[in-house]
Amino acid sequence: MQVRTIITGHRGFIGSHLIKVFDNYVGYDLKDGADILDRDELEKLFNYFKPEVVIHLAAKTGVPESWEKKKEYFDTNIIGTGNILEMCDKYKVGKLIYASSSSVYTADQHQSPYGISKTCAEYLFNAYPSLNYSIMRFFNVYGLRGRCVVSRFFEEMKHNMCLEVNGTGKQKRYFTYIDDIVNAICNIIPAKNKIVDVRGNELTSVNEIIDNLERVFLRKATIIYKDIPEEKGVYSKYEKEFNFNMIPTNLWTGIQNYNLKWTEEVK
């Protein structure tokens, strides 16, 4: 893709897959010392590169850690996103794509600091009515170098490790293969959607994930069910899903593709 693009968080999980399909991009990532809280550096970048599109992936992620580092999450995910909005508005960027999360749907009494930070960041967009943007709410993305339960269990089974399951394993979520995320981001650039969900097409339990992994690895998993309360997944109504010109990858196909890419990368 030739469009002039800034990708924040390009060295993270999603970013590392996304940059493979962009030819004319500049990455901006904390791993390189580039902080979205640094307005002066952002100003220099936007003024020099004059982006047509900005894809804002940079964020503090992960629910458990957010309880211990609330300020870091609020600073990065809210103030940092505000800085990106300011730059996009000032430099008349043609399209801003923001990576949000299904955590915004969690009922108030169960919402983590991470979920709160993503929800607050979404509200900031209301202050920029002239800005052309799309907010994409990603649901439990898995794939090579991922962090969600599918990726964690995949890596553990690859290395013959024991799988630890909180609760009964019957809790269900939507899971989304990384290639679908990349495809959706690319296809939403010319679209007019404001808020969209990007997710798999069926709810899947943790036990079903393990069943699929056992089929891929042709062996039974060693599982410890821990007597820990299951994470609540209480969602309100979903926004209209974005038709990104493909059928979402089902879990079985996604895990097979994951295994092939893992093997290729190791080689």
Residue reference for tokens 């296809």: 187
- Using only the alpha carbons of the chain, give its radius of gyration: 19
SS (H, E, C) 85-113: HHHHHHCCCCEEEEEEEHHHHECHHHCCH
End-to-end CA distance of the chain: 28
Beta strand 5-8 with 172-174 is unpaired
Strands (E), 5-138: 5-8, 25-28, 53-56, 95-101, 133-138
Catalytic-residue membership of 114: yes
Q: How far apart (Å, rounded) are the C-alpha atoms in residues 151 and 191?
A: 30
Q: How far apart (Å, rounded) are the C-alpha atoms in residues 242 and 140?
A: 16
Beta strand 203-205 with 141-142 is unpaired
Given a contact cutoff of 8 angstroms between Cβ atoms, the answer to whether 214 and 158 are in contact is no
Given a contact cutoff of 8 angstroms between Cβ atoms, the answer to whether 245 and 186 are in contact is no
Q: Active-site residue among 114, 174, 177, 258?
A: 114
**DSSP H/E element including 206:** helix 206-217
Give the residue numbers annotated as catalytic, written as ranges: 114
